Chains A and B, each alone.
Chain A
Amino acid sequence: MADLDPLFLWRRFLTLPNESRTKTLAVAFLVSAVCAVMVTAATVMLRPIQAQNRAAEQQARLEALIAAVPGISELVAQSGGDALSTVVIDLDAGTAAKDVTPETLSAALAEPANWTTLPAADDIAGIGSRPDYAQIYLLREGETVSLAILPIVGTGYNGRIQALLAVRGDMRTLAGLAVTEQAETPGLGARITEPLWQQSFAGKSIADDTGAVRFAVARGKAGGEHEVDGITGATRTGNAITRMVQFWAGPKGYGPLMAAIRRGEF
């Protein structure tokens, strides 16, 4: 049985002339196999660390985005440097999501089951369906929430508008707005990205004392504590922002969450 002894076969293989076809093929195969194992091992073993790095980078980008909300750096400084915490919430329940974390959020949102189709009557922001989970950012002062940053989305005149809405701890006073994505008409609707206009949101009140959402972008000059100035020639964009804020501050949006924060449950 000497021919089947692996060591013997290996020696015989090594003594084959280098130019023989068997040896050429075998060397090519062995080198590829060993290299494939090496590359695969490196990729698989290092993947968790790399994923962590990518997540950290994404977080840094989001923080840069949040820092762009007018006046927010002052707010963070005032609150004694407590960093923003990222929370994934269950929109219907108004509580922190039990089994979805910021890391697994994108996977959860890839599931159609985690989206709610909105009936036309409720769908004032024109988004069709709404995710059941959202990632929000909270700034705490001691135990109470002093600022919440809520991502909102809606359909504008030319397409989707995405923004971050900063609301103070009373869940009624706005602290600012930052438009993060829009495709409105340059020079008209696209002026919603101007810092001056976004700053006019600060101090406005979303809802009245009864809790009904009253916020609106005015036509022309703002009248009262619930309105911000409209942009000339951009009535439709203004209306889109109005409906967006009204939807997300309402019962189908962050309404349950805001109620929970007001009750001090966060």
Chain B
Amino acid sequence: MAATEGLWTTLTAPLIRQNPVTLQILGICSALAVTTSLDTALTMSISLTVVVVLAAGIISLIRRHIPASIRLIVQIIIIASMVIVIDQALQAWFFELSQRLSVFVSLIATNCIVLGRTESFARSNPPLPSMVDALGSGLGYSLVLLAIGTCRELFGSGTLFGFQVFALADQGGWFTPLSLMLLAPSAFFLLGGLVWAVRSLWPEQADAAEFPLHDLGEERR
């Protein structure tokens, strides 16, 4: 019973409280690039989650036999191979999507979340908890990607998953698309807003100020 509860915490912690994107600010490069529409965001989320879970499982299985001196390289090789396999599968069965995701699927190999989870958790835990932990992180990343993707697609082109939600002004409706939403900076704004919102709701997530501002009046004295 206690074990199941532990697993449940491992799974749910990274969703909001320990979210890899909003708390640790990891993997935002791809989060910015693929969120112009929901379907690319969803594909990217699923790909990353599959990669991180499989990689965590494999690395956890062989964790007792990875020499410390080459552990990073071993992990990277395993992750990169998984990514290539996923990329090939996407090109075979979801050709159009893979064209739109272009290099970002291959760049999962360099996503800090994946290496972060395998290095910090899977290397020292048995396979099941490792995979649950990886799944949680993958879902946390997916949650942020989907939230930003929804905002950008809805306000940038008035659609969700390609279906028209808002009637566009140039087709006689009322909604004028915000083209800014389709540009990269908007993802920064949205992500910044999201981090701010999350940290206001859970103040313990806020980093301690590294360079506290001095009270200027005091200094003068």
Main secondary structure of the interface of B (DSSP, over half): helix
Within 8 A of A (CB), among B63-113: 64-70, 73-74, 77-78, 80-81, 84-85, 88-89, 91-93, 95
Determine whether the beta carbon of B74 is less than 8 Å from that of A46.
no
Determine whether the beta carbon of B77 is less than 8 Å from that of A32.
yes
Interface centre among A24, A31, A38 (most CB of B within 10 A): A31
Determine whether the beta carbon of A31 is less than 8 Å from that of B84.
no
- A interface list, Cβ under 8 A from B: 14, 18-19, 23-24, 27-28, 31-32, 35, 38-39, 42-43, 46, 49-50, 53, 56-57
- Name B84's contact: one of A23, A28, A32, A39 (CB within 8 Å): A39
Residue on B nearest A53 in the bound complex, by CB = B95
Instruction: Give the residues in chain B near A53, CB-CB below 8 Å.
Output: 91-92, 95
15 A-B pairs besides A28-B74, A46-B91 with CB distance below 8 A are: A19-B67, A19-B68, A23-B67, A27-B62, A28-B70, A39-B81, A39-B84, A42-B84, A42-B85, A42-B88, A42-B89, A46-B89, A50-B92, A50-B95, A56-B95
User: How close is A32's CB to chain B, nearest CB, in angstroms?
Assistant: 6
User: How close is A265's CB to chain B, nearest CB, in angstroms?
Assistant: 38
Q: List 21 A-B contacts (CB under 8 A).
A: A18-B66, A18-B68, A19-B67, A19-B68, A23-B65, A28-B70, A31-B74, A31-B78, A32-B77, A35-B77, A39-B81, A39-B84, A42-B85, A43-B84, A46-B91, A46-B92, A50-B88, A50-B91, A50-B95, A56-B95, A57-B95
Measured CA separation A24–B65 after assembly (Å): 9
Take A49-B92, A57-B95 as given contacts and tell me if A24 and B69 are in contact as well, using a CB distance cutoff of 8 Å: yes
